[in-house]
Amino acid sequence: MAPFFLFLAFFLLSKPSPSASQRQQSTASFSSSDSPWLPMQNKILLSPNSTFAAGFYPVANSSKHFNFSIWYYKLPRNITTTVWTANKHDSPLSTNASLVITATRELRLTDSSSRSNLWPGAPNATNNSTRLVLNEDGNLVYDKWESFHFPTDTFLPNQSINGTELVSQNGKFRFLNSSVLSFNYLDNYWTSDKVFGQLNSDGSVNQGNDVSIISADYGVARMRRLTLDNDGNLRVYSHDESLGQWFIAWQALQESCRVHGICGPNAICLTDSSNSMSCVCPPGFRRSSTSGDACERKRKLTSNTKFLQLDYVNFTGGSNQTNLKVRNLTTCRANCLARPNCLGFMFKYDGQGYCVLQLDRLLYGYWSPGTEVAMFLRVDSSETAETNFTGMSRVLDTTCPVRVTLPFPPRESNTTTRNIAIICTLFAAELIAGILFFWAFLKKYIKYRDMAQTLGLEFLPAGGPKRFTYAELKAATDDFSDAIGKGGFGDVYRGELPDKRVVAVKCLKNVTGGDAEFWAEVTIIARMHHLNLVRLWGFCAEKGQRILVYEYVPNGSLDRYLFPAGRVASSGTEAEMGPAQDSSVDSEEWYFPRWAFDKVFKEMRVEDILDRQIKHCYDDRVHFDMVDRMVKTALWCLQDRADMRPSMGKVAKMLEGSVEITEPKKPTIFFLED
């Protein structure tokens, strides 16, 4: 025993302290007999195991200014993290400040500049012997008063969040009602669907009776804190002892630019690949001379205006941001032009007619492809600046395939008049034919242009799908000779493009639903870029043909590997799939997640999706919950929208069964629904 205590004593004595150079006096409590406590005394109050310390802490770069703070005592000085401050963030204390427990048992923090008590809550104890102590969890306690009830920018594990609020150190951002992030109290830019209860030491956050926020390092024993940072984002930090630093284990907003108030009026917030933010001016604007992060118009708007297109830019601070739901871009533009206070409009090329006017002001602009929106910025028609926000590329192919050739006049012709007559006749015929061809082309072109405008084909991503002619695809597939699949909504052929790329060409049948659905499908698939998804390389829409050209995946889809050859009777047309022993399914339409979804949630036959090898030992009463949980988790991971998919931490919890899993939506990727 004795050696252990010796070791412990040595350990405690040799612990690095924030100001080892000066004689530092540490105490376990502060009482009226210790009063007054002055900044120059260099005294700190330690928690029982020295995790936290409290006291007058010198403000960065100054030995004459202090905050009365609580900080992690065990962390090296260069990453000192304060978790609580008594004085207001914008008024540091001078060397004349003092903390006393008065004769009337009031805990008083004063500075020379003012006699008022700066201690939050100005607590009075009921007992003369009451002391100020710092608990091991970082809670500073004086009788009934607790610092946990007066948080500043940080919540610690087991601190109740209910009824309190956080303010970022710079005073710009607040976390209100345990659920809302707000800029200047006025603009809420993030709302949690559930109210925060408390941060747990395992990295989860209680929300009501539920735990729905789980940090990336959930379950590991680490020091953690929930902090509202100066960039307006709310984050869970975990301390990695081996690296000696804090890392972000969860954050409220994935895109920092979505925080309101990062940039000033008219400016657009951009993040680069390293996630650092900058404020840039839109075309036609320059940096404001009065405010650093704001932009001002180069030319005042007159009655003659035009629009500049800024792709993927969203402004959110207009005075009325109602979605007008219009038919087309022209209508949205007309709506904006009709109002003198309309500074631009946002339009989505998804066929849903999303149209939001920007009235009176342009605030909180940010660039993000996730918005899928194009901002049309109103500028004076004399403005010469060109847009440099061009995230989407024009794909419409406007080359004219019509070629007119003049026949040579017959050789045996010697009379000039006859030659002239022939030439004139031919010329007239060519002219008429030319005009007819041109007229037909123009009609077609206008039709496609309008359709493309309405549906956003102009805005497919760079390197997006190419428009093929029917003849090109006919040649590529050797007149559609190599069928690799037949399905309910079309046949699939193998083909090879002139550049040697091998493709799967899917000719859609019965596209009676109209062109709109086809174009919508093309645009949606084209926008998806994912490692594990087959890419759409192009399409063809002519002569009543609707054809999609995909990357050719020689090995077929992943489910082929899950259910190996022995169990798949691949005649790649009709396939009998592993788990579906009793039913043959049309291979082309067969998409495992969708099939599994129907089995589990429509037909309620979980046992049908079990692998043959484990099916015999499946017992409905014993295993149903587990299988149900696994299926739901898998389907949540397959959701089309990335923000619907759970984090790995959450997945672990879902599989573990410690959170309730709601019913997922049916996965739809890739399929034209009938």
Ligand X SMILES: *[C@@H]1O[C@H](CO)[C@@H](O)[C@H](O)[C@H]1NC(C)=O
Binding site for ligand X (CB under 6 A): 48-49, 59-61, 67, 69, 76, 78-79, 82, 85, 89-90, 92, 94-96, 103-104, 106, 112, 121-124, 128, 136, 162-163, 169, 197, 208, 244-245, 258, 280-281, 283, 314, 316, 320, 322, 327-328, 330-331, 371, 373, 388-389, 450
Distances (CA, A) of 312 to 21, 388, 393: 54, 12, 12
CB 374 within 8 A of CB 355: no
DSSP run (H or E) holding 526? helix 515-527
Query: Can you read off the two tokens belonging to residue 25?
Result: 């006096």
Nearer to ligand X, 186 or 604 (CB): 186
**At its nearest, how many Å lie between ligand X and the CB of residue 135?**
8
User: For ligand X, which is the closer residue by CB, 450 or 611?
Assistant: 450
**Residue pair 548/506 in contact by the 8 Å Cβ criterion:** yes
Q: Rounded to whole angstroms, how far apart are CA atoms 168 and 227?
A: 8
Strands 466-467 and 536-542: parallel
Q: Which alpha helices (DSSP H) does 298-367 contain, by range?
A: 329-337
Phi, psi of 369 (to 5 degrees): -60, -25
Phi and psi of 332, rounded to 5°? -65, -45
* 537 neighbors 496 (Cβ within 8 angstroms): no
Within a 10 A sphere around the Cβ of 113, how many other Cβ atoms?
Answer: 12
Total residues belonging to the chain? 674
Identify which of residues 329 and 575 has a Cβ nearer to ligand X in the complex.
Answer: 329
Nearer of residues 158 and 320 to ligand X, judged by Cβ: 320
How far, in Å, CA of 200 to CA of 206, rounded? 7
Q: Which is nearer to ligand X, 94 or 291 (CB)?
A: 94
Angstrom distance (rounded) from CA 42 to CA 542: 83
Contact present, 668 and 662 (Cβ < 8 Å):
no
- 380, 304 in Cβ contact below 8 A? yes
Q: Minimum distance between the CB of residue 565 and ligand X, rounded to whole angstroms?
A: 46
Q: How far is the CB of 169 from ligand X (least distance, A)?
A: 4
User: What whole-number distance in Å separates Cα of residue 23 and Cα of residue 220?
Assistant: 36
Toward ligand X, which CB reaches closer, 333 or 594?
333
| Minimum separation from the CB atom of position 543 to ligand X (A) | 23
Q: Decide whether 177 or 584 has the Cβ nearer to ligand X.
A: 177
Beta bridge partners of 621: none
Residue pair 616/591 in contact (Cβ under 8 Å)? The answer is no
Q: Are 317 and 400 in contact (CB under 8 A)?
A: no
Q: Which is nearer to ligand X, 51 or 573 (CB)?
A: 51
Task: Report the C-alpha gap between 613 and 581 in whole angstroms.
Answer: 13
CB nearer ligand X, residue 61 or residue 415? 61
Are 621 and 628 a contacting pair, CB within 8 Å? no
CB of 45: closest distance to ligand X in angstroms?
Answer: 15
443 assigned to a ligand binding site: no
Q: Which amino acid is at 388?
A: N
In angstroms, give the least distance from the CB of 109 to ligand X.
13
Q: Work out how close the CB of 23 gets to ligand X at its nearest, in angstroms, rounded to a whole number.
A: 22
* Minimum CB distance to ligand X, residue 645 (Å): 19
Nearest residue (CB) to ligand X, 105 versus 567: 105
CA atoms within 13 A on the CB side of 6: 3
Across the beta sheet with 342-348, the strand order is 305-311, 373-380, 342-348, 355-359
How would DSSP label each residue in 370-388?
Answer: GG-EEEEEEEETT------
Which residue type is seen at 663?
E
CB nearer to ligand X: pick between 35 and 328: 328
Edge to edge, what strands does the sheet with 132-134 contain? 29-30, 132-134, 140-142, 145-146
3-state secondary structure of 27: strand
Picking from 366, 388, 363, 385, the residue whose alpha carbon sits closest to that of residue 295 is 363
Pairwise CA distance, residues 48 & 26, whole Å? 11
In whole angstroms, how close is the CB of 71 to ligand X at the nearest point? Answer: 8
Nearer to ligand X (CB atom), residue 312 or residue 636: 312
Angle between helices 416-455 and 515-527 (to 10 degrees): 70
> Which CB sits closer to ligand X, 330 or 581?
330
Q: Measured from the CB of residue 293, what is the shortest distance to ligand X in angstroms? A: 12
* Residue 82 near residue 138 (C-beta atoms within 8 A): no
**Closer Cβ to ligand X, 117 or 668, answer by number:** 117
Q: How far apart are CA 217 and CA 240, in angstroms?
A: 10
Q: Are 92 and 86 in contact (CB under 8 A)?
A: no
> What HEC string does 411-422 produce?
CCCCCHHHHHHH
List the binding residues: 506
List the binding residues for ATP: 506
